[in-house]
Copies of this chain bind each other. A is one copy, B any other.
């Protein structure tokens, strides 16, 4: 078996390593266009925040280890340009401009996602940078370390934009954030997103929602000027964080099916419409467990899990993934933000008859020192009583709390089922009724 993997990031390297563990006799070739494999992309903002830490800390395993210890034929600097399904091979070019071809018995497209680049004059100026690859992260860090960066503008207010805003503030850089969409965290219930927005602005960051960038200009002193629809924002550094797009071009050109958001369409075994070709990670879609419909939610755990599933399936184990519930957590300044499942709006769009409750609760027991406010929302379906989603914001004890409703979503629990759950209680960790139970106790009255 000759198993060729395009892309050496989370999904690709997970699949490569597991395939060699399962079946050491398989030939596993990974074609990675960059020089970097197996690094913690999500850790980049935290690393950039700390001038004492090296970007190399983020590398989990070096290419040589995969080659020598795992016996993976890992070829960095190899960019695939075409898949020839009929011939069962991929065609590409190396960083030295050498053409190559590689035959496969099984192929895995793990090409990930790329930053969406807004079509704006000046987006390619030096000092305007996205953050997706390790190379991007290094470039931003070197720029901050070596230039006199006093002011930055971040285009976009997603997870990466917000994490970068905290990182830049930690480096003493003034930050403005701007995006064309009118609503800050549009997937979040308004009461909760306001808490996050307040935390960001309390840390000296200006938020300009509903304002597109029309141009980025070079100015005389060597700096930049971000021209918005209603204002001009001077900057020494511009972070372009306007979301990501699946890298599905190779799949499209090879005639494979794509679906939602242009991601490669896969079944529960991660097979594309060609059963010798798998796709997974940020370039591929998934079933949303709550809606039963396809979705594209590019997150790290799914990429790793799906990479393993591909490996097992290539090795003949027949692993089917149930799908995702869209659980996501992030931190911005002191605020922890978490979500799982559907928002009220998403639930409506998916055809449910949803009800939502928003509560405030304490993170620790009555009168326990260090107890902080947690804002929690929960959404359930009036027709079936089913739990559909939950969101949470607070400075203490938010992130791990979201996993209880996340598991309940996988189990298809009703809100009434969830209320019965025997969760842990001790005064240093929560009230007797955990906030996720308190919100469920309120929600059941509306269903």
A residues near B, CB below 8 A? 10, 40, 42-43, 46-47, 50, 53, 57-58, 60, 159, 289, 299-302, 304-305, 321-331, 336, 338, 340, 365-369, 397, 399-408, 410-411, 413, 417-418, 420-430, 432-434, 436
Chain B nearest Cβ from A332, distance in angstroms: 10
A302 and B57 form a contact (CB under 8 A)? no
Residues of B within 8 A of A330 (CB): 426
A421 and B400 form a contact (CB under 8 A)? no
Residues of B within 8 A of A422 (CB): 289, 301-302, 323-327, 340, 406, 410
Nearest residue, chain B, Cβ from A47: B367
Counting chain B CB atoms within 10 Å of each CB, the highest count among A365, A424, A429, A436 belongs to A424
8 interchain pairs, CB-CB under 8 A: A42-B432, A301-B422, A301-B432, A304-B433, A322-B417, A327-B422, A401-B403, A407-B413
A427 and B46 form a contact (CB under 8 A)? yes
Residues of B within 8 A of A321 (CB): 420
Chain B nearest Cβ from A256, distance in angstroms: 25
Stoichiometry, copies per complex: 2
The 4 closest A-B pairs by CB, nearest first: A411-B411, A329-B424, A400-B400, A399-B429
Partner of A426, one of B42, B58, B428: B42
A429 and B400 form a contact (CB under 8 A)? yes
How many Å lie between the Cα of A401 and that of B399 in the bound state? 9
Partner of A40, one of B304, B406, B427: B427
Counting chain B CB atoms within 10 Å of each CB, the highest count among A329, A338, A410 belongs to A410
How many Å lie between the Cα of A336 and that of B426 in the bound state? 10
Q: A302-B422, A400-B400, A422-B326 are in contact. Are A43 and B410 (CB under 8 A)?
A: no
Residues of B within 8 A of A301 (CB): 422-423, 425, 432-433
Residues of B within 8 A of A402 (CB): 424
Residues of B within 8 A of A10 (CB): 432
Residues of B within 8 A of A289 (CB): 422
Partner of A367, one of B40, B324, B424: B40
Residues of B within 8 A of A434 (CB): 403
Residues of B within 8 A of A304 (CB): 432-433
Chain B nearest Cβ from A67, distance in angstroms: 21
How many Å lie between the Cα of A302 and that of B324 in the bound state? 31
Q: A304-B433, A400-B400, A400-B429 are in contact. Are A58 and B410 (CB under 8 A)?
A: no
Apart from A58-B367, A299-B425, 18 more pairs, CB < 8 Å: A10-B432, A43-B365, A43-B368, A302-B422, A324-B422, A327-B424, A328-B426, A331-B428, A397-B400, A399-B424, A400-B401, A403-B434, A404-B407, A406-B424, A410-B420, A410-B421, A410-B422, A411-B417
A429 and B365 form a contact (CB under 8 A)? no
B338 and A424 form a contact (CB under 8 A)? yes
Nearest residue, chain B, Cβ from A399: B429
How many Å lie between the Cα of A411 and that of B411 in the bound state? 6
How many Å lie between the Cα of A433 and that of B299 in the bound state? 12
How many Å lie between the Cα of A98 and that of B75 in the bound state? 90
Q: A325-B422, A411-B411, A418-B407 are in contact. Are A46 and B428 (CB under 8 A)?
A: yes
Residues of B within 8 A of A365 (CB): 40, 42-43
B340 and A432 form a contact (CB under 8 A)? no
